Structure 1
């Protein structure tokens, strides 16, 4: 009788540094969304990622840095989509571009509510330095919104546009919170609400 050779264990695929960085952010984002900032440790991230703690610390010196990187990555996706919006020359270009921006935002929320939770619902108990860094990220997103608005209202008062950019951001965040309680509402309807709220205000800003 021929002896059965023991099965060869599957070989682990070694990730590049960039691939490992993305994996750690994916894992951390999920844990932060499920367990909150306080309830998540670097050990938790290492264990869930299947690596040792030194690997995690090699990419992020502290848990605060890791959380910041998660939020920065999530915001970058939205900001890249905002930067791609350009005037089309149509009469309703303003409504179109705002609808596209709203669709990008709510599309991210619909695809991955966990990411939205990390992005817009950080713990109120965050240390002040981290809270300031996160607020700087939020301010950067608002400036991107203002830049889009300036393409359509170049002669508008800068302070007024800045104020409306904050309002636009706030409308999106609050509608997002509402939508999470009403998942039966189609995304297209939520985007329409967003467009109607924002266009009416920004049209007045154009003077």
Structure 2
């Protein structure tokens, strides 16, 4: 049972803790959620939380890292595919939108709360994000070198343009709105490619 008398979600303890933390961070904010709130919602003890996660910081980091791991795996698969660079970039550009929308709570929690991570964790997250962005940028640079994409706009600026749009999804996207995640992804990927075509 959780603190409010509802049954705790079934499943392995780490997943229950992550699910409870995600829900609470989304509803209340990271700083207004205590460790006690999380363990009560997950139906576990503080000892269990500290066994799997060293701190509330570690929970926040894992919420973001699991999304980034998924996105990195999918980007690597798109980038390594045997297809023209334009198709690989479009797949990657659309996929990061879809996976962000499908995990919007995780993404928004992170963007709102990253500054509350310890300096060491912030450094780790920046390194993880840099690896993703560098792989994405490499696709753009490949297309620029081969003449498929225009080369007068720096690849870094193109990456910032696309990811800036993604970081704002939480301010306007609604699952019950007029556009599906896939439609938003297709529009943003097409905008990116139109900006890159000679």
TM-score normalised to structure 1 length: 0.71
Q: Deviations over 1:25-75 (max 9, x none)?
A: 222222211221101111122111111101101122221122111111111
Check 1:188–1:124 CA distance in 2 against 1; reply closer, same or farther (3 A cut): closer
Separation in 1, partners of 2:191, 2:50? 44
Separation in 2, partners of 1:29, 1:144? 28
Separation in 2, partners of 1:124, 1:112? 16
Equivalent residue number for residue 103 of structure 1: 94
- Structure 1 runs of 4+ aligned residues shifted over 6 Å read none
Asked whether the equivalents of residues 94 and 189 of structure 2 are also in contact (C-alpha less than 8 Å), the reply is: no
Equivalent residue number for residue 68 of structure 1: 61
Alignment equivalent of 1:25, drawn from 3, 10, 18: 18
- CA-atom RMSD in angstroms: 3.1
Asked whether the equivalents of residues 175 and 190 of structure 1 are also in contact (C-alpha less than 8 Å), the reply is: no
Flag structure 2 segments of 5+ consecutive residues without an equivalent: 1-9
Equivalent residue number for residue 107 of structure 2: 116
Displacement after TM superposition at 1:141 (Å): 2.5
Equivalent residue number for residue 143 of structure 1: 134
Asked whether the equivalents of residues 74 and 95 of structure 2 are also in contact (C-alpha less than 8 Å), the reply is: yes
Separation in 1, partners of 2:132, 2:170? 16
Alignment equivalent of 1:173, drawn from 167, 176, 191: 167
Check 1:53–1:107 CA distance in 2 against 1; reply closer, same or farther (3 A cut): same
Asked whether the equivalents of residues 108 and 170 of structure 2 are also in contact (C-alpha less than 8 Å), the reply is: no
Equivalent residue number for residue 162 of structure 1: 156
Larger Rg: 1
Question: Is 1:126 aligned to residue 116 of structure 2?
Answer: yes
Check 1:153–1:75 CA distance in 2 against 1; reply closer, same or farther (3 A cut): same
Check 1:123–1:116 CA distance in 2 against 1; reply closer, same or farther (3 A cut): closer
Q: What secondary structure is seen at the aligned counterpart in 2 of 1:183? A: coil
Q: What secondary structure is seen at the aligned counterpart in 1 of 2:54? A: coil
Report how many aligned residue pairs link the two structures: 183
